[in-house]
């Protein structure tokens, strides 16, 4: 079974409507190229839709075991990616990344789902990560991670309905910001609005965002958790 044909459309509309509300505010008739938000939305749309079609959240195949393996695969991508952002110290200046770390919540979810600490530590991690060699690239990666957090609002409801899981039983990652989700997404878009980037830097941001989507899909595919 594949995901419901309207599912990825509904998800993308949710994600794009939230970002488009900010896009208009940052576009100028004198701008020689699209705003950063508009460029990100346009450049990543195809990859975003392709990945959403393959995620099993809305598939009849979704059961407890598949969900646990899916979250373990998410952990295997987020763990080295968040670590690299931290080690390289390329977190965009002015963005409080300490408020946006998801790994501890993912780890707690895996524990709630029945994995021992040693098992979590031994989980395979992705070695083919997107290149992060500038603050612009880090911003592109952050755009994907923050967008995924926003989309989690839809996924958490599905997981609650299908599997009966909530924040206390293994689904906290899907609502990692809780009531602050909308506020932090707006703050992030405002941060993008405030960037005064040249065309070359905008290209760096979008390139990193696209690479993040591609590497994430390839990683999940290698872990056999996609449709």
CATH of the domain at 29: 1.20.910.10
Question: Residue 27's pLDDT is what?
Answer: 41
Asked whether residue 20 is domain-assigned, the answer is yes
Specify if 92 maps to a domain. yes
CA-to-CA dists, residue 87 to 34, 80, 130, 219, angstroms: 32, 10, 15, 21
Supply φ then ψ for residue 171, to 5 degrees: -125, 25
DSSP-derived secondary structure for 111-155: HHTT--HHHHHTS-----PPP--SHHHHHHHHHHHHHHHHHHHHH
- The list of the chain residues with pLDDT below 70 reads 1-33, 91-93
Task: Report yes or no on 103 lying in a domain.
Answer: yes
- Quick one: pLDDT at residue 67? 99
For residue 1, being part of any structural domain is answered with no
With CA atoms as reference, report the closest residue to 206 among 15, 20, 14, 36.
36
pLDDT of residue 28: 40
Check: pTM over 0.95? Answer yes or no. no
State residue 217's pLDDT score: 99
| Closest to 84 in 3D by CA, of 112, 105, 103 | 103
Instruction: Write down the H helix ranges in the chain.
Output: 7-26, 36-54, 64-88, 103-112, 117-121, 135-163, 181-194, 199-222
Tell me whether residue 227 is in a domain.
no
Note the pLDDT tens digit of each residue in 148-191: 999 999 999 999 999 999 999 999 999 999 999 999 999 999 99
Is 96 among the domain residues?
Answer: yes
- The first and second tokens of residue 137, run together, are 């690239």
What is the count of structural domains for the chain? 1
Residue 157 lies in a domain: yes
Task: Assign 43 to helix, strand or coil.
Answer: helix
Q: Which domain holds residue 54?
A: 7-222
Is 140 inside any structural domain? Answer: yes
Would you state the pLDDT for residue 151?
96
């Amino acid at each position: 079974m594949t995901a419901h044909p309207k599912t990825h459309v509904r998800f993308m509309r949710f994600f794009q409507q939230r970002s488009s509300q900010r896009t208009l505010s940052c576009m100028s008739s004198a701008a020689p190229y699209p705003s950063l938000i508009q460029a990100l939305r346009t450049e990543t749309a195809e990859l975003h839709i392709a990945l959403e079609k393959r995620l099993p959240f809305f598939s009849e195949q979704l059961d407890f075991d598949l969900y646990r393996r899916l979250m373990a695969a998410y952990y295997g991508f987020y763990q080295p990616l968040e670590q690299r952002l931290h080690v390289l110290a390329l977190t965009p200046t002015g963005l409080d990344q300490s408020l946006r770390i998801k790994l501890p919540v993912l780890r707690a979810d895996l524990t709630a789902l029945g994995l021992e600490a040693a098992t979590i530590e031994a989980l395979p991690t992705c070695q083919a990560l997107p290149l992060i060699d500038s603050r612009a690239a880090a911003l592109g990666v952050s755009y994907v991670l923050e967008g995924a957090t926003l989309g989690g609002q839809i996924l958490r409801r599905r997981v609650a309905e299908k599997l009966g899981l909530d924040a206390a039983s293994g689904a906290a990652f899907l609502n990692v910001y809780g009531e602050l989700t909308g506020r932090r997404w707006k703050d992030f878009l405002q941060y993008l609005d405030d960037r005064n980037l040249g065309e070359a830097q905008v290209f760096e941001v979008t390139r990193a965002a696209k690479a993040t989507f591609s590497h994430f899909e390839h990683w999940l595919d290698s872990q056999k958790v996609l449709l």
